[in-house]
Structure 1
Amino acid sequence: MKKSIIASMLIAALGVGLFAGCSKNDSKQASADGKPVEITFWHSMGGAGGDAIKKMVEDFNKTHSNIKVADQYQGAYDDAINKLKSSQQGNSGPDVMQLYDIGTRWMIDSGYATPVQKFIDAEKYDVSSLEKNIVGYYTVDNKLNSMPFNSSTPILYYNKTAFKEAGLDPEKAPKNFDELKDMSSKLTKKDSSGKITNYGFSMAIYGWIFEQYMSKQGKFYANNENGRKDKATAVDFDSNGAGLKFVKMWKDLYDQGLLGNYGRKTDDTQNAFVGGKAFMYIDSTASLSGVLKGVNGKFEVGTAALPNLSDDDKGGVSIGGGSLWIMDKKDKKDDKQKAAWEFVKFMVSPEEQVFWNKSTGYFPVTTKAYDIQDMKDNLTKYPQFKTAIDQLHASPLEARGALLAVFPEARQTVETNIESMLQGKETPEQVIDNAAKAINTSIDKYNKSNK
């Protein structure tokens, strides 16, 4: 089925209405006693993202006199989800929760949240301007469960200045791993003793990148069509060959000294790029603001679409980042949920998404953002941002990632085994076999206890 047809069906299923979805200023929503409805918003954004959220919440509170939102940072995504689980015992959790993409299946199963589809249908909220591929990720059984908020895709960052010095065309980034390998060999530098001082390429030992290269190859990470036709019962990357093909390429580049290994922390690989120790690397588009700020003109930064593993790959990329969930607390006060919905709409309004993009690097989740002059000016000033936007629009809806309730654990399992491979303790075949067995055990255990 063609992408356009699938997208049209998806929009129809989401109940597109006739009315615009922007929340109005000075909302009339208030509690029964006339006081402002107070809601809490848990998020996992530190640094520039945290500063941006604080400003967005302040602006919401100023323009919605009958609602008061308290934003509360809960640490990294894994920390936040553990706090959420604990909070449910005493009904002390948030009214709105920012959760990472890989927590989607678990959150649906938990019953902790009310699908935003309920509010969309009740208001006839127009979702037609929301990015279809992002909406597609959070749509399960024809219901949009959470509102996309901070979305990103992986892109290739490269040092245009180093490209010129190596005799490479700075306007032509590698389109596949064969080209990447060739360019990395020309970019890699050694000292007089033969020790590598600057790597041509690097990527963090990050499970998200592994997942992306299943989508990029047009293959499923898990069975039952990535857990979307029915709940996943096992991984698929071991049987379809996509996982082995990717880790073999990873090890080949590493063994030839063409890939620098800076560990699991993405910040460490980013720092290697910013510091000129690696001339190409893969990272989220959400890192772009930090990269440009870190480089600070020391060299020219280029961005390009995530390279194919092979030239004939027909897949695309899946989104990362997170979304906003409206929690279904035990007291079930309707005024709080209505207030939460007003806040969610505000956070994804075009103006706020432009501010969010400029502050962080996450791209807007609504296409209406591109009609705003401030967004147009920012893309002109920083054309690198357009890479992720174009890549998202070029990706087929089928490339959306897997739904797996044990995804956080699965991601760590993949990372542990890849790390072991780079240390010479496992072969690529063992990486895939060991990871698949461990993840399948976790899936089976979860499914049996969550029927």
Structure 2
Amino acid sequence: MRLSPQRRGVTAVALLASLGMVLSGCSGGGGGGTNDLTAPGAEVLEGLDEAVRVEFWHSMDATNGQVLNGLIEDFNAQNEGRIEVTGSFQGDYDEALASHRAAIQQGETAEISQIYDLGTQFMIDSGQTVPAQSFVDADGYDTGAIEPALLNYFTVEEELRSFPFNNSTPLMYINRDAFEEAGLDPDSPPTDLAGIREAAEALTVRDDDGTVVQYGFGAAVYGWFVEQFMARAGAPYCDSANGRSGRATEVLFDDPKVVELVEWWGDMIDDELAVQIGRNTDDGQAAFTSGRAAMTLESTGALGGFIEQSDFEVGAGYFPLVAADDPGGSIIGGASLWINGEGHTDEEVRASWEFVQYLLTPEAQSVWHAGTGYLAVNTEGYDGPEASARAEEFPQFAVAANQLADSEIDENTAGCMMGVMSEARVAAEEGWETALTSDTPADEAMANAAEGVRTPITEYNESVAE
């Protein structure tokens, strides 16, 4: 399933308002939400009379859901009579977060909740979960094999808050056949905006009437990409060190780097080197697979579909830099696993942790990566038989792992931690699209969009104030 959570209407402010409460216990630095829920030890599962039942709410369906169900069945078989996990599909990411919100109101949360990245601050502020760091510390769990960029994102105030699971990063995809026909090297795709423009000039094809039949470039106006370009430029998306040293009070996507990006994008469209897609990511994917655009930007999650749906050989390269001298970096997307503590027994909490540990093993991650295309959270999973076979068949999948391995690890690549990230992404898209479709200059459009997020940020921060 192709999830585009930023398209939907659930906002962090609305979530809090509908809870009918002001969340307390939130520290001023780094986003707060600290509570006294702690991880029970393994001894609570000794001498059980019956298996501990764990309900796992998630947003994986279709192929991803089938792979996840297989992992659940394998775990249950290994823990027969001790732990029994039941997976429960809750709809897309926003629907799953709404279900979790309603469950908090009713005092009936699942033992484990899969929540997308935009919900991270809300989950911390809700105070319902046992912080992931508590399990790590209690067991001396070694996170050394977990992808550092993922740990970086889900760590707030030097504590790991949730466990990464289904995560991805964006790449640049190219039509290798078109590259060869244009005399370009498909093994060396462009790495920055100037390089993309130069390649697009060679890749753009017109018919006898001068009508463009193949554009050099085309991608959706997607808010996630703004975060990516800023991270790769070493620029924070929001203040307070991307919300990591204190509550974010403003977004910074009117940064000169973003303005440069938006102006470049508009020039590419005006010069008929890029097809104008709009904000629909499905349209961006279709432009690439149909051959209408020879280069595009998309998540690693799109690679499998690109390979299956395209009549040409698909290549992959690192997500581009705005300028060649930018430091580089990458922000992840996807979701993580939260173990609910409030209202659950020590046995249920511990059993949930046992299952999460299983999902993070190299063996499970090899199956997960090979079956879904998501990153292997445990990097040792790439060496597993399933992942190795997939890499041999589709070497493009190694690009994402290499990009993360080469990424700068700092607060800029950690991503902005803010309670209204969903609204911020939509606002960034709206400003970007305004600059492309009107006479509003890029700097003005992005500044107006950033200013429009100020009130939601303030309202959210006030709602969780001590």
Name the TM-score, length of structure 1 as normaliser: 0.89
For residues 109-151 of structure 1, the C-alpha deviation after alignment (integer angstroms, 9 at most, x for no partner) is 1112111111111111111111112111111111111011112
**1:334 & 1:74 partners in 2: Cα distance?**
25
CA contact (8 A) 1:274 1:294 kept: yes
Q: By how many angstroms is 1:285 displaced?
A: 1.1
Residues 1:224 and 2:240 are matched in the alignment: yes
For 1:322, give the aligned amino acid. A
In structure 1, the partner of 2:105 is 89
Q: Are the counterparts in 2 of residues 97 and 325 from structure 1 also a CA contact under 8 Å?
A: yes
Which of 388, 404, 408 is 2:400 aligned to? 388
Distance 1:198 1:87 in 2: 50
Cross-structure match for 1:197? 213
* Aligned AA (1:112): Q
Q: Deviations along 1:59-109, whole A, 9 cap, x unmatched?
A: 222222122212111222122112211221102222111111222122111
- The residue aligned with 2:37 is none
Matching residue of 2:373: 361
Aligned partners of 2:366 and 2:385 also within 8 Å: no
The share of aligned pairs that are identical, in percent, is 38
Spell out, residue by residue over 1:278-323, the C-alpha distance to the aligned partner (whole angstroms, 9 max, x if none). Answer: 111111112212211222xx21111101111111111311111111
Q: C-alpha deviations, 1:249-293, integer Å up to 9, x for none?
A: 222222222222333232321122112121111111122122112
User: What is the aligned-residue RMSD (CA, Å)?
Assistant: 1.9
1:157 Cα offset (Å) = 0.6
Q: How does 1:40-119 map to 2 (within 5 A)?
A: 40-65=55-80, 66-119=82-135
Structure 1 equivalent of residue 17 of structure 2: none
In structure 1, distance between residues paired with 2:205 and 2:301: 29
Q: Distance in 2 between matches of 1:102 and 1:306?
A: 21
Alignment of 1:151-166 (within 5 A): 151-166=167-182
2:383 to 371, 375, 388: 371
Paired positions, count? 421
* Matched residue, 2:359: 347
Structure 1, unaligned runs of 5 or more: 1-26
Q: Secondary structure at the match of 1:38?
A: strand
Which digits, 9 at most, give the CA deviation of each residue in 1:39-76, with x for residues without a partner? 21111123321221121112222222122212111222
Check the 8 A contact 1:31/1:335 in 2, yes or no.
no
- Residues 363/336 of structure 1: CA separation in 2 closer, same or farther (3 Å cut): same
Q: What secondary structure does 1:92 align onto?
A: coil
1:170 aligns with 2:174: no
CA distance in 2, matches of 1:251, 1:48: 37
Write the letter of the residue equivalent to 2:335: G
List per-residue Cα deviations over 1:213-254 (Å, max 9, x = no partner): 11011101011110111111111233x423212212222222
2:251 to 225, 235, 253: 235
Whether the 8 Å contact between 1:233 and 1:440 is mirrored in structure 2 is: yes
Runs (4 or more) in structure 1 with deviation over 4 Å come to: 27-33
- Go from structure 1 to structure 2 and tell me whether the alpha carbon gap of 1:200 and 1:143 turns closer, same or farther (over 3 Å shift): same
C-alpha contact (below 8 Å) 2:226/2:253 kept by paired residues? no
Question: What is the match of residue 449 of structure 1?
Answer: 463
Counterpart for residue 273 of structure 1: 288
Contact 1:417–1:426 under 8 Å retained in 2: no
Per the alignment, residue 264 of structure 2 pairs with: 249
Distance 2:283 2:61 in 1: 17
Note the C-alpha offset of 1:407: 0.2
Aligned residue in 2 for 1:36:
51
Q: Indicate the SS of the match to 2:115.
A: strand
Partner AA of 2:322 in structure 1 = L
The more displaced of 55-64 and 374-383 is 374-383
Structure 2, unpaired ranges of 5+ = 1-41
Note if contact 1:200-1:258 (Cα within 8 Å) is conserved in structure 2: yes
Taking a change above 3 Å as real, the CA distance of residues 413 and 291 of structure 1, as seen in their structure-2 partners, is: same
Aligned position for 2:35:
none
**DSSP 3-state at the match of 2:105:** coil
TM-score by structure 2 length? 0.86
* Partner SS for 2:55: strand
For residue 334 of structure 1, the aligned residue among 346, 354, 363 is: 346
Match of 1:121 among 137, 141, 155: 137
